[in-house]
Amino acid sequence: MSMNPDGTHTRQNAGFTLLEVLVAFAILSVAVVAVIQGFAQGLRLLKVAGDHQQAVLLADQKAREVVMPVEGHDQGQDGAFDWERTVTVVKAPDLERTPATRKWTVYQIDVKVRWGDKRGVEIASLRTTAEKAPPAASR
């Protein structure tokens, strides 16, 4: 440093000190770590959402596979997903009132899809048919 004629000091080398550079790098490193963690969390959420969407599509497919409902239970595996389908007859007293409505049967189709340790989805749908309810199938 040198002295001005008025007695104040001036810096001859106008640059950053080592301490200023270290503080700047520390702040930058904290910001970079936060951004990387944000991206990683986003990727994890994207995978969970994709798995959930696949599970819902599989459950819907398994429910739609039942063309002529028959009371029963079946299960299987599709990739990383385990599925379970249950078809039951729903009691509908209103359908027993007239001969024209007695031929109708209401079925409930429940499909559960599970994956991972604790993840799963379940859908339920109702289907009617004019056929008489066949006896429960043993599968």
Among candidate residues 97, 92, 132, the one with its CA nearest the CA of residue 108: 92
Query: Which tens digits make up the pLDDT trace of 9-23?
Result: 665 667 889 999 999
**Domain span holding position 25:** 15-129
> Computed over its alpha carbons, how large is the radius of gyration of the chain?
34
Distances from the Cα of 9 to the Cα of 14, 16, 17, 86, angstroms: 13, 17, 17, 87
Residue 136 lies in a domain: no
For tokens 């359908």, the residue is 95
Residue 124 lies in a domain: yes
CB atoms within 10 A of CB 81: 20
Residue 103 lies in a domain: yes
Q: What's the pLDDT score for residue 139?
A: 46
The number of domains in the chain is 1
Residue 135 lies in a domain: no
Query: Which tens digits make up the pLDDT trace of 44-87?
Result: 999 999 999 999 999 999 999 998 998 999 999 999 999 999 99
Token pair for residue 22?
Answer: 């270290």
Residue 138 lies in a domain: no
Token pair for residue 72?
Answer: 């029963």
Q: What is the CATH number of the domain that holds 50?
A: 3.30.1300
Residues 6+ apart with CB under 8 A from 30: none
Query: Which tens digits make up the pLDDT trace of 81-119?
Result: 999 999 999 998 888 888 888 888 999 999 999 998 889
Residue 67 lies in a domain: yes
Q: What's the pLDDT score for residue 16?
A: 84
Confidence of residue 7 (pLDDT cuts 50, 70, 90): low
Is residue 120 over pLDDT 80? yes
Residue 137 lies in a domain: no
Selected residue with higher pLDDT from 131 and 117: 117
